[in-house]
Amino acid sequence: MWLTKVRVDGLPIAVTRIMLAVAFAIIVVESSAVLHQIAAGRMTYPVLEVIPAPTPSAVLVYFALGMSAALFLLVGLMPGFAAALASALAAWALLWDQQTYSSHHLLCALLLGYLAFARSGARLAASAKLRGGVRGDVPWWPQLLMLTQVSVVYFFTALSKINPVFLSGEPLAGWTWFAGPGWLFQGLAVVTVATELFLAVGLWVPRLRALAVVAGVGLHAGIVGSLADQNVILFGFALLTLSTYWLFLRRPPLRLVPFSRPGRATAFGDSPNRKQPDDVTAAVSG
């Protein structure tokens, strides 16, 4: 039994799909605005000189395709194809001009890439209804990639903030819409780093993950609510990361996930020595 054959309930990934659809729509609007400005004569900064610069009509096609993919994802119509298209479009925008780069744009492209394999249309999806019923369980390995990706983001963004500039609190004081004493922003800077480090680990630990979810929601709500600019974009970033939280809460217990060779695998509720079937369907309870 292989890790790639572990299957889980399809409802959480369907919710993830819906949240990613909204986040992707925000990113399409944001990147289209940047690309439109470039097409209108602002500085071009291509990743590769061979890639043609954006033109108004090409940007319009990108926007239309992007919003269509987002809509298909939202309603769950051909969600695998829509996720692959959305991921490719997000990657294309990053390649088109360096000025479209942002961490949330890159994260969106990656999460959508994993989502393309996640069979996220098993639940809450038009395609499932058109097929005349729901398919309950889905492969877990794409979800695993989403979870590790989000943990890596939290971990490295925390590490990069451990520097004298950020910890001084001055950047935070400049970004927020409210004023306050220096110690307040120094404290917020430390809390931010600590929370991000906690999330990188805590979301994986069963005893801590409920607290981690609360901390994560609080962190992202705090970012969206307290920063003076780019609140819609920051809301999109929050959706990207928060879209994985239910997957963290409902993931298979790691001790039951077969990371090693066949014959040593264990399924949910099984004893370690029990012979395993080829395909394990996980009735995940957390």
Partner 1 sequence: MSRWGQRALAGVIALQIAVPAVALTLEPPTRFGWQMYSGYDGELVVLGADGEALEYDVSALFAKHPRPELDWESRVVEELCRHVEGASSVAVTQGRQDRKVVPCG
Buried/exposed 243-280: b ≥16 CB within 10 Å, e otherwise: bbbbbbbbbbeeebbbeeeeeebbbbeeeeeeebeeeb
Smallest separation (angstroms) from partner 1 to the CB of 247: 15
Q: Give the residues lining the site for partner 1 (CB under 8 A).
A: 2-5, 33-35, 37-38, 42-43, 45, 97-99, 101-104, 106-107, 141, 144-145, 148-149, 152-153, 156-157, 159-161, 163, 165-166, 168, 170-171, 175
**CA–CA distance, 216 with 32 (Å, rounded to integer):** 29
Of 61 and 279, nearer to partner 1 (C-beta) is: 279
Of 42 and 274, nearer to partner 1 (C-beta) is: 42
Distance of CA 92 to the CA centre of its chain: 18
**CA–CA distance, 64 with 92 (Å, rounded to integer):** 14
Cβ–Cβ under 8 Å, residues 232 and 226 = no
CB proximity list for 71: less than 8 A, separation 6 or greater? 21
Of 148 and 285, nearer to partner 1 (C-beta) is: 148
Smallest separation (angstroms) from partner 1 to the CB of 115: 14
The kind and range of the H/E element at 134 are none
Smallest separation (angstroms) from partner 1 to the CB of 135: 18
Smallest separation (angstroms) from partner 1 to the CB of 72: 25
Query: Rg of the Cα trace of the chain?
Result: 21
Of 5 and 209, nearer to partner 1 (C-beta) is: 5
Smallest separation (angstroms) from partner 1 to the CB of 24: 18
Of 3 and 65, nearer to partner 1 (C-beta) is: 3
